[in-house]
Structure 1
Amino acid sequence: MASKLLANLIIMGSGILGRAVLQAYRKAIENANKSGVAQETINNIRRASRAMTEQEARQILGIPEHATWEEVMQKYDTLFGRNAQHGSFYLQSKVHRAKECLEAVYQKNSPGNS
């Protein structure tokens, strides 16, 4: 009899708790929409996903505008390797994105692509 009572209390309690969590979630979304936090978050995501510029890529890799592709790859290998061993994944990904950006620039400007 006691186990049946305990089971009923657990089931009722979890149902009440579940409804309270759902209600709190709905209220949080409603408040976010009212205060503009949701729109600001969307704008931040859009800003963060923008493409890297050539100048930014050159600054990250520390190379001048007249650098050859071999110099770019040498600098990339050095920075990527250092961050793989002792750095952060974030910096490593920035180095990789910079190389990808410059790769597109160098391919576009190569003599074979006219």
Structure 2
Amino acid sequence: MATRLLANLIVMGSGVVLRAVSQAYRQAIVNAGKTGVAQETMQNITHKVSKSMTEHEARQILGVAEHAPWEDVLEKYETLFENNTRVGSFYLQSKVFRAKECLEAARQAQGL
């Protein structure tokens, strides 16, 4: 008898807690919609996903002019990549690689 009573109490208690959590979640969604937090969060996510390196930024990273020959771009890339290999900055090395990759894609899009 006591076991049955305890089981019923646990089941009823968990049901009450589940309803309270779901109501709190619904209210949090409503509040987020009112304050603009939801829209801001979606904008931040969209910005992070769509953020890619521009050709201008890639040229700044490699230090090449807009109309520099492709050989100059490769030479700058190799120099910067090797320097960052010796220093050990993986972040800078990846930025240099992404810059070359961006300029390479732009070059292919132009059909050169």
Q: Would the TM-score normalized by the shorter structure come out above 0.5?
A: yes
Distance 1:12 1:77 in 2: 66
Q: Relative to 1, partners in 2 of residues 1:32 and 1:93: Cα closer, same or farther, differing over 3 Å?
A: farther
Counting only pairs closer than 5 Å after superposition, residues 31-50 of structure 1 correspond to structure 2 as 31-48=31-48, 49-50=50-51
1:16 corresponding residue in structure 2: 16
CA contact (8 A) 2:53 2:102 kept: yes
2:5 and 2:82 map into 1 onto residues whose CA distance is 66
**What's the RMSD between the two structures over aligned residues?**
3.0
Structure 1 gap ranges (5+): none
Q: Find the counterpart in structure 2 of residue 51 from structure 1.
A: 52
**Structure 1 100/14 Cα, relative in aligned 2: closer, same or farther at 3 Å?**
farther
Give me the TM-score of the superposition, normalised by structure 2: 0.66
| Residue equivalent to 1:72 | 77
Hey, which bits of structure 1, 4+ residues long, moved more than 6 A? none
Which AA in structure 1 matches 2:4? K
Mark the CA change 1:75 to 1:107 in structure 2 (over 3 Å): closer, same or farther: farther
User: Which one has the largest radius of gyration?
Assistant: 2
Q: TM-score, normalised by structure 1?
A: 0.65
Whichever structure has more helix as a proportion of its residues is 2
**92 and 33 in structure 1: CA distance in 2 versus 1, 3 angstrom threshold:** farther
Deviations 1:38-97 (A, max 9, x none): 1111222222223321222344x44333432254255347658742xxx6xxx7765654
Change in Cα spacing, 1:68 to 1:56, as seen in structure 2 (3 Å) is: closer
Residues 94, 69 of structure 1: alpha-carbon distance in 2 compared, 3 angstrom cutoff: closer
Distance verdict in 2 for CA 1:79–1:19, change over 3 Å? farther
Q: Percent identity?
A: 54
